[in-house]
Chains A and B, each alone.
Chain A
Amino acid sequence: MELLFQFGLFAVLLLIGWSIGGVTERRHFRSLVEREAALRDILVFNERRPPADRDFRRAELVMGSVVIGEDYFKRFAATLRSLFGGTLRMYESLMDRGRREALVRLKEAARRQGATMVFNVRFETSSLSADTGQRGIFSAEFIAYGTALTPR
């Protein structure tokens, strides 16, 4: 009886993770595509030096960050996939979402300053799974930062 209950709970969590997690992910990707299109005029570079022939009125550090966690289904699928090794697609999409979200937020911050370019953009990822390690759920923080330049 107890075994049955445990299995039931597991199946329900898996289903919730798969359905809600899937919907959230698709919605997130749609919103990313929209916002990326709207912010296309903000140029980002990872070059260290801005062009010397341009004159800038203002230089300001800007950043964008987001913490994203996996859903129950992803975790299960990844555990299963890890038995054989190879590409973990469920995590690839998670990392992609996080990094693009951080970059979009960086661009939004740059726009608020009235900047048109961001130089020396750096990405950083840190796993927060040590925090939630007891449950084995993986979450990561993505940050993007750079120097926003406002032309004179």
Chain B
Amino acid sequence: MDLTNLETVPGKTIVRHLGLVQGSTVRSKHVGRDFMAGLKNFVGGELKGYTDLLNESRTEAIDRMVAQARAAGGNAVVNVRFSTSNIAAGAAEVMAYGTAVEVR
């Protein structure tokens, strides 16, 4: 599965457009992470636990998007975009969307 955020897949030709596909996940931090981040907050800097958490979420969102693309008969997703939103205290939604295509 080729993923790009361009309009094409360089080196390949798009033979069919299959429409918008998307994947998302909502995750919350677990208490341990939140506690550590709470301590870290006094001194600032990178909150590694959150970085990892959001990266895991993004990987999951991409996987779901890819699964949709595959179900639609595509072998690539172009024009991929990400968006993150806070939907409740302690929970974030991470979303990935793009256009499923068939390339050759």
Give the B-binding residues of A (Cβ under 8 A). 13, 16-17, 20-21, 24-25, 28, 48-50, 55-61, 63, 65-72, 74, 94, 101, 119-120, 122, 124, 126-128, 130-135, 137, 139, 141, 143, 145-147, 149, 152
Contacts and interface: CB of A to CB of B under 8 A. Distances in A.
Interface of B: 2-7, 9-11, 29, 37-38, 40-48, 50-51, 54-55, 58, 80-86, 88-92
Contacts of B11: 55-59, 152
B6 A71 contact: no
Contact of B43 (A16, A134, A141): A16
Contact of A68 (B10, B42, B45, B86): B45
Contacts of B40: 69
Contact of A130 (B3, B45, B54, B89): B89
Given A55-B11, A146-B5, A147-B5, A128 B50 contact: yes
B29 A131 contact: yes
Contacts of A17: 42-44
Given A65-B55, A141-B50, A143-B82, A135 B43 contact: no
A16 B50 contact: no
A84 to B, nearest CB: 23
Contacts of A130: 86, 88-89
Nearest to A74: B44
A139 B41 contact: yes
A59 B50 contact: no
Given A60-B4, A122-B5, A147-B5, A67 B50 contact: yes
Given A59-B2, A143-B82, A131 B44 contact: no
Contacts of A68: 44-47
Contacts of B3: 60-61
A65 B51 contact: yes
B39 to A, nearest CB: 11
A122 B79 CA distance: 12
A28 B45 CA distance: 8
A123 to B, nearest CB: 11
B47 A135 contact: no
